[in-house]
A and B are shown apart, each in its own frame.
Chain A
């Protein structure tokens, strides 16, 4: 009898393929999703480049110095783009999923989900780029205070990277040790949970952008008043910690979906 349920028809159509083909196809889509993270560093580094150009016009003599700070900050803003590239390259050239035993559909969804998780890299990219821009602005306005302000920029940018790293961890778990892959009845629930685990991590965009903004403002303030560096750092870190909460919520939900899924037990 022909099944009229669209999803069942679709899943049956997918499962009519060889397991390998399904996983490889999903890996191609996952690699594409991962690269979307490049939006972040692109915006952030462009902001830094703009601030670098501005700094050159404000203080042409100090332009070498502010350009160095711009490049340093932009290099850090590149991290999440590179992490995504690594995930895409693993999916394309060293795919660990293809060797896994278990349900083909769930393994295939793991590949897509790992790519989607990396989209969070947009956040740190934008935020760290903003901090880099503020770093060269600070150096052009007050060259004497550029050392302490650069330190604040680096510290704040490191904090802004956390949500990008959370996503990387989830993507790596999905690729190398997805606990959902083996031995379940309810394929659709488990496959959807795997997808949900990746989608949840997109929340990391927010903390990344926000913490980067804080890092930038901290850098600006230190550049203006280097004496108060420690007070500024304290305030910045405290605020960044609060901004991290939603990123941690996402991480928790993602881990619950994978390791302690309550939905599967309800079936």
Chain B
């Protein structure tokens, strides 16, 4: 195996960091699933309000998505626009 350079170390750590950042996806997954469940329950109770219920559910779920997107952004930055490598 070829010797590991400093650049290779930063890049390897960036790969680990990108993976760690994505763990955040646990949260939006659970939360939005709960919202979907409550939405289904709501439509079951009040079928004529389906449109309003879906609108509220999707609005709330979009807010719940944000931290997942933050994690994704950090992972994408680490992968495609790594600012650390320029500091070397």
Inter-chain contact A39/B42, CB cutoff 8 Å: no
Known: A21-B10, A35-B74, A50-B57. A43 touches B20 (CB 8 A): no
Give Cα A220–Cα B72 distance, bound, in whole angstroms.
35
Contacting pair B67 A38 (CB below 8 A): yes
Decide if the interface of chain A is mainly helix, strand, loop or mixed: helix
Which residues does chain A contribute within 8 Å of B36, judged by CB atoms? 50
Q: Which residues of A24-70 are within 8 A (CB) of B?
A: 24-33, 35-58, 60, 63, 66-67, 70
Cβ contact within 8 Å between A24 and B88? yes
Q: Which residues 1-41 in B have Cβ within 8 Å of A in the complex?
A: 4-7, 9-10, 12-14, 16-39, 41
Tell me the minimal C-beta distance from B52 to chain A in angstroms: 5
Q: Chain B contacts of A93 at CB under 8 A?
A: 83
Which residues 161-209 in A have Cβ within 8 Å of B in the complex? Answer: none
Note all chain B residues with C-beta closer than 8 A to A57: 41-43, 45-46, 49, 53
Asked if residues A35 and B71 are in contact (CB atoms below 8 Å), the reply is yes
Report the bound CA distance from A24 to B63 in whole Å: 32
Docked Cα-Cα span, A74 to B45, in Å, equals 25
Contact residue among B9, B23, B37, B54 (Cβ-Cβ distance under 8 Å from A21): B9
Q: A17-B6, A54-B38 are in contact. Are A95 and B87 (CB under 8 A)?
A: yes
Question: Are B24's CB and A25's CB within 8 A?
Answer: no
Is there contact, CB below 8 Å, between B34 and A42?
no
The one of A60, A81, A129 that contacts B70, using a Cβ cutoff of 8 Å: A81
Q: How far is the CB of A108 from chain B (nearest CB, A)?
A: 9
Residues on B with beta carbons closer than 8 Å to the beta carbon of A82: 70
Contacts of B85 in A (CB 8 A): 24
Complex interface residues of chain B between 36 and 88 (CB less than 8 A to chain A): 36-39, 41-43, 45-46, 49, 52-54, 56-57, 59-61, 63-68, 70-71, 74-75, 77-78, 82-85, 87-88
Contact A92 B74 (CB under 8 A): yes
The complex places the Cα of A93 from the Cα of B60 at a distance, in Å, of: 31
In the assembled complex, the Cα of A53 lies from the Cα of B64 at a distance in Å of: 14
User: If the complex has contacts A38-B68, A39-B24, are A50 and B60 also in contact, measured as CB distance less than 8 A?
Assistant: yes
Asked if A257 is an interface residue, CB under 8 A from chain B, the answer is no
Tell whether A47 pairs with B9 under 8 Å between CB atoms, given A56-B49, A74-B63, A81-B70: no
Choice from B6, B31, B49, B56 contacting A129 with Cβ under 8 Å: B31
**Contact status of A74 and B10, CB under 8 A, knowing A28-B78, A46-B33, A56-B53:** no
Q: Kindly report which residue of chain A lies nearest to residue B47, judged by CB atoms.
A: A57
A71 vs B61: C-alpha distance when bound (angstroms): 11
B35 to chain A, nearest CB (A): 4
Given contacts A25-B13, A74-B63, A92-B83, contact A37 B24 (CB under 8 A): yes
Contacting pair A33 B53 (CB below 8 A): no
| Subset of 21 A-B contacts with CB under 8 Å | A21-B7, A21-B9, A24-B10, A25-B84, A28-B82, A29-B17, A31-B21, A32-B78, A35-B71, A36-B23, A41-B67, A42-B29, A45-B31, A46-B30, A46-B33, A47-B34, A50-B31, A50-B38, A52-B56, A81-B67, A129-B31
